[in-house]
Structure 1
Amino acid sequence: AKKEGSVQILSGHKAEKLIYEHGKVVGVEVLRLKDDVRISLQAPRTVLATGGFASDRSQGSYLDRHRPELMNMAATAGTFSTGDGIEMATAIGAGLVDMDKVQIHPTGWVNPTDPNNTEKVLAAELMRGVGGVLINHRGERFCNELGTRAYVTDKMLGHNPTYVRTSKWDPSAVVPTFSLVLSSSAAADGRKHVDLYVHKGLLFELHGIAALADFLGVPTTRARDTLRQYREDAAAGRDR
């Protein structure tokens, strides 16, 4: 256990159920993992802060029940995000609302050594905030990078014809990988994040338009025109 001030953090423990007596939650029962000993922790107030459920893709999971079309979509939620806290609450009669409101974060890094892994490292919005440019497989900028998550996600999914026709995500759909391109000055502004992503092998340093075009698999003229248009729009204060 780690204690700082009035907060005691119990690592190596798993919360298993809420202690419910006389219509009130009076604590939580936890499992001490090192020896499988169950401990009852009494408390005048109990706060559930256990995250979501996007990592549980099993049949009958919350994701399967409420947003089955997202079962095959990659997520940035950690392996802890399995809905255990929600289960503890419903076990004592708590009601649930808005379980279908699963937000899709538009940017998660594709690991080139494990591209099909459905657990992605989140590409922080700071990367777009400092000037990162989103470019599609044709070498085109296709959205305002500072738009809402829903807006940017919609622009990405719009690269799939089925989504364009129905406005619904098709679990079997194929959407191309997008690239997040930062100038040297933008990278400097996001240095802490950039260094982390480079260290993880998710972000690469390229020198010159030709190298970028080769990485994107598009003509050099296309990459040059896209970035030139972006600079001109930025200078003129135009949003696209």
Structure 2
Amino acid sequence: MGGNSTKATSGINGAGTQTQQELGIPDSAKLFFEDTKRSARELARDDLIRVLTGRSGDAVNWLQDKFQLDLSKVARLGGHSQPRTHRGNAQFPGMVITYAQMERLEDLAESIPDRVKIKKKARVIKLVKDESGAVIGVEYSHNGKTETAYGPVILATGGYAADFTSDSLLKKYRPEFWDLPTTNGEHCTGDGQKMALAIGANAVDLEKVQVHPTGLVDPNEPDAKVKFLAAEALRGVGGLLLDNTGKRFVDELQHRDFVTGKMWENGKFPIRLVLNGQASKEIEWHCKHYVGRGLMKRFESGEALAKEIGIKPEELKKTFDEYNEISRTKKDPFGKKFFAGGEWKMDDYFNVAMMTPVLHYTMGGLEIDPESRVLDKSGKPIPGLFAAGEVAGGVHGANRLGGSSLLGCVVFGRVSGDSAASYLLQRLGPVAEKAAGRLGAVAGHLGAPSSSSSQPATAAAKEEKKAEAAPSGEKSFTVEEVQKHNKKDDCWVIIDGKVLDVTNFLPDHPGGEKAILLYAGRDATEEFNMLHDPKVIPRYAPEAVIGTLKK
């Protein structure tokens, strides 16, 4: 579980949040609405944008209050008139947000199994309808058998920016993007959209596929089809985009589609994203993460950076001096209005990565109404069918603002949950009161602080006890033995002195196989601990631990 949301790197938007008030940021839902509508352009759906922006502040406050998440830092991303993209001091915000909710759900599945069930390795085949045309469940395959689950259905299957299948939505609607690399996991093949379309749902804006300007180019694998994303926050804190002559060519904080267009128009690749010392410190965790993966490189001076670009130090200094003057006068030939990162000097250190445009987000999808109900081709809700997140179209119009993907998941996830519970009660009447009450109990448990749980033994507690009770006579391996297992079909890693065989876990890793394979046969402790809570291994891959490292 988690999908691409676990990889979201910049943060979650919120207007009028507690954090903004504490920082003195004069934001409002009205300003956020106007920014989003401007970005959505001619495809703006005021009703959906009003839900997204109007409930944004409450969504961020809910995550902080009910899940005790750190969302204390706020950045201004491209297209925003105020700083409103929230993240914490460490780890990717997408991972923090999705893991907190996944863990709460897993605890509930353990403590109240009559109310919550999770089925992994189960592939939904089709939506099931009754004689009236209402959706009453899903048919799915699990352990080689075809089974059916009954009830209202909420689709949260993501987009289609990795749909390279035979019936690809990407190839049908944007064939010119077919050869571009993607930031999406291979699961993003539009399954939810296709299943709903098969029963008469309507789709909107399927040709609106966002190409993100800043995909990270791995110098060791420059032509890789799947690429990691450089968080937009890297530009939000003051990062500059420089072409192969060491010059700027665009307002780094413009809309994503605009920046991408200017990259192609300029054509002077490789293009580098450069952060000076102050910007690097502001987003230190991200830089450390990218450097650790070999996707970003640190230079100790402007001279060293100029040599890497292949230009004279004087040319790079000229770019810096011109930008310092622009920051002072607020007169940028490229139209930039907001400046961060402080003064640019040659005697500074820099974190630098090469950039390329990448397939990123699909704005198109299933047509929904403000209650997250999926609409048919006549514009009427299909009873029993709801959608949340990237599977739904129309929310972002022609272009999505950075920080609004996680927001769409949280806002429309909560809306669809409310709508599904309400639908169940209305459809079944008094008979459903008990069932709806149980749904309400689940929602209450999911939104309650973990400290208030009265359940005697959550899944997390059981896993921690299991880890503590691990046998002392386990096998031990030398570093040299681990180093031999460094391939996709034979992959070991070292984490906190434990040796893990993650070969079978590779396809299940939310961050993709490549994130683990970078550390095949090596010690991945520092990188792992930057991203994960210690209980992740006993919780999600206890069978992967095969021994300890010999000292």
Q: Shift of the alpha carbon at 1:9? A: 4.0
Match status 1:208 vs 2:301: yes
Residue 188 (str. 1) matches residue 294 (str. 2): no
Cα distance in 1 between the residues matched to 2:200 and 2:329: 57
SS at match of 1:29: strand
Cα 1:65–1:9 change in 2 (3 A) is same
TM-score by length of 1: 0.86
Aligned to 2:529: none
- 1:84 aligned to 191, 197, 213, which one? 191
Q: For residue 250 of structure 2, what is the aligned residue in structure 1?
A: 143
Partner of 2:179: 72
- 1:163 match: none
Counterpart position of 1:170: none
The 1:59–1:227 alpha-carbon spacing in structure 2 relative to 1, beyond 3 Å, is farther
Moved more, 64-73 or 220-229: 220-229
- 1:102 paired residue among 185, 191, 209: 209
Q: CA deviation digits over 1:67-95, x for unaligned, max 9?
A: 11111112212211111111111221222
Partner of 1:41: 149
Q: Matched residues in 1 for 2:157 and 2:188: separation?
A: 8
Please say if 1:177 is aligned against 2:270. yes
Pair 1:3-2:106 in alignment: yes
| Alignment match, 2:313 | 220
Q: Which amino acid aligns with 1:10?
A: K
- Any conservation in 1 of the 2:163–2:188 contact (CA below 8 Å)? yes
**Aligned equivalent of 1:152:** 259
1:126 pairs with 2:236: no
Q: How far apart are the structure 2 equivalents of 1:180 and 1:201?
A: 15
Correspondence for 1:238 among 331, 356, 378 = 331
The one-letter code sitting in structure 1 at the alignment partner of 2:123 is K
Report the residue type matching 2:159 in the other structure: G
Question: Matched residues in 1 for 2:236 and 2:177: separation?
Answer: 27
- Aligned equivalents of 1:15 and 1:60: distance in 2? 17
Instruction: Name 1:16's counterpart in structure 2.
Output: 125
Q: Tell me which amino acid in the other structure corresponds to 1:145.
A: E
Residue of structure 1 equivalent to 2:416: none
| CA shift digits 1:107-156 (9 cap, x unpaired) | 11001111001211111110000111000111111111111112111111
- Aligned residues with identical type, % of pairs: 37
For 2:222, the equivalent position in structure 1 comes to 115
Residues matched between the structures, number = 223
- Aligned position for 1:27: 137
1:3 is matched by which residue type in structure 2?
Answer: E
Whole-Å separation in 1 of the counterparts to 2:106 and 2:244: 50
- Deviation of 1:8 after TM superposition, in Å, equals 4.6
Provide closer, same or farther for how the CA distance between residues 11 and 58 of structure 1 changes in structure 2, counting only shifts above 3 A: closer
Please give the TM-score of this superposition, normalised by the length of structure 2: 0.39
- Cα separation, 2, equivalents of 1:236 and 1:37: 68
Does the residue aligned with 1:141 lie in a helix, a strand or coil?
A: coil
Amino acid in structure 1 at the alignment position of 2:278: S
TM-superposed CA distance for 1:229, in Å, is: 1.5
1:205-235 deviation line (CA, Å, top 9, x unaligned) = 1011111011112222111111222222122
Structure 2 CA distance for aligned equivalents of residues 55 and 104 of structure 1 = 12
Gaps of 5+ in 1: 161-174
Pick the structure with more helix per residue. Answer: 2
Distance, in Å, in 1 between the alignment partners of 2:263 and 2:174 is: 19
Instruction: Name whichever of 10-19 and 97-106 sits farther off.
Output: 10-19
What's the RMSD between the two structures over aligned residues? 1.9
1:207 is aligned with what amino acid?
A: E
SS in 2 for 1:104: strand
Per-residue deviation, residues 174-225 of structure 1 (Å, max 9, x unmatched): x722100001110111122212211211111101111101111222211111
Give the CA deviation at 1:30. 2.5
